[in-house]
Structure 1
């Protein structure tokens, strides 16, 4: 897909993508959104928080939403390639199998320069795991679902890696008329590309390192950056130790959530999000793909 700007993302486009995702043969589900007060999770702030459970989504994470919209807008029977070692790769492979398409999920040692060589050699269409208009529009369906349960949230907290989910959710909420809603992204301290990008006013990269590997891409996406700059209140940072504790706390309350999926929760319980007192708040848990052995490492 060619270079596009944030102006290309319109409410009509996101509504169309919402219907595409909802009717996708990949079986994307409307995940539950439950009140924090209906769980045993600790909370030191007096506010009305709802938790969006994308850890229960098909393939175990929100990524299937963007993949569903990407594949719907590509020719049937195409040959595709992507770079991912995590949840996007899992959803991408699931879509390939469902549609009977040919494709590869690769993790090159040097990126992104290798991308063009790989595509030319194999005659494949490259699908980006976060810097892609169709993907972001698909992820925006999550924001639309949030508004069906809480039409006018005061605050929405979303994890941020390359920024595709944060950009999509923020655009969906703001373009739907919730101009007063404050949307915060959450990144690990050791992998804060979007945080640095908003400071430097351009997409930047870094040597990202975090226990939340799904939130540690080498650079922020250009289109996600533009959308975050336009619609996001700010980015807050959490430590790996805070993420580890969040995984453990969620598990003890019956919720299996991977480190990357726990970042928004970690930000809330560690009081990183300002002015939540008395507010209607949404916390998105983005994925539950964590192995038993890894999960046990987080327990006290």
Structure 2
């Protein structure tokens, strides 16, 4: 591995990014870290569990953390383009409206139309394209419209902003045995894992991916970032490829990637909803891994699970089992 790539992130950088994120005019909040016994979830876990409630975050997911740091480090008055199936696009649009910048999100055609409508309501242009052509549309915007590309997960400022979540966890649970985080492109997992490991090397960090969208899992096996035709009900965890930078950081700081099935994700969403917690499929993947006993040696340990987002509509929830 090229250490120069891994070492671009440091604890000092992460702490600085956290100051930027928490001081951002976008209103990022320090979300609650709730002990399992203070919820109405069934008492079926054999560990001391805390839930990090990023589903309560501003814009409904953790994405606003990275976006806050990303925008703070870009020149004012820029014209930005990115790609997203939902949550990053919402945070990007929210920031674009606040800063008064011109923005555009390119969405895969498979993304729910309700998410495109929501993003457009912030004044950001939305263009849909076949999944295989999303990146080419972004490249056209860069070339023809002179727009600056903000990567939705493989960006060092974004990753450092997401690291604020890891630092918050350690303030409440200073020495957890295990932290479980969902993984799509890897921005949250890379940032949180780096923040935790650079502060406390004893904690084990595991990433969770859907079986049908396991780019980071395959990247760990092949020892390089890989692409695949990613498909999952957890659309936020199904980018076409793992990030180059996120892969390198995850390889350095993450113990491993575990996989969950579509049925296990659906069951997790339903379990959380019955306990009064609205969590989208992508946001529930880490919980699904723990509930299905996928996390190695978790029994009897201090475990933190990140519920990464809650942007799910009533019409989507109707399709989940009771």
Match of 2:27 in 1: 27
Q: In 2, Cα distance between the equivalents of 1:42 and 1:189?
A: 26
Indicate yes or no: 2:206 matched with 1:184: yes
Indicate yes or no: 2:164 matched with 1:141: yes
The aligned runs of 1:1-300 (5 Å cut-off) are: 5-107=5-107, 108-109=129-130, 110-176=133-199, 178-300=200-322
- CA deviations on 1:204-242 (whole Å, 9 max, x unpaired) are 010101000000000000000001100000000000000
Q: In 2, Cα distance between the equivalents of 1:299 and 1:197?
A: 32
Offset, 1:120: 1.4
When normalised by structure 1's length, the TM-score is 0.97
SS of the residue aligned with 1:112?
helix
Offset, 1:66: 0.3
Q: Which runs of 5+ in 2 are unaligned?
A: 108-128
Q: In 2, Cα distance between the equivalents of 1:56 and 1:299?
A: 23
Offset, 1:38: 1.1
SS of the residue aligned with 1:51?
strand
Cα 1:223–1:165, aligned 2, differ >3 Å: closer, same or farther? same
Q: In 1, Cα distance between the equivalents of 2:45 and 2:273?
A: 21
Q: In 2, Cα distance between the equivalents of 1:152 and 1:83?
A: 36
Alpha carbon RMSD of aligned pairs, Å?
Answer: 1.1
Contact 1:43 1:269 in 2 (8 A): no
Offset, 1:46: 2.6
Contact 1:45 1:276 in 2 (8 A): no
- Paired residues, number: 296
Q: In 2, Cα distance between the equivalents of 1:295 and 1:114?
A: 31
When normalised by structure 2's length, the TM-score is 0.90
SS of the residue aligned with 1:117?
helix
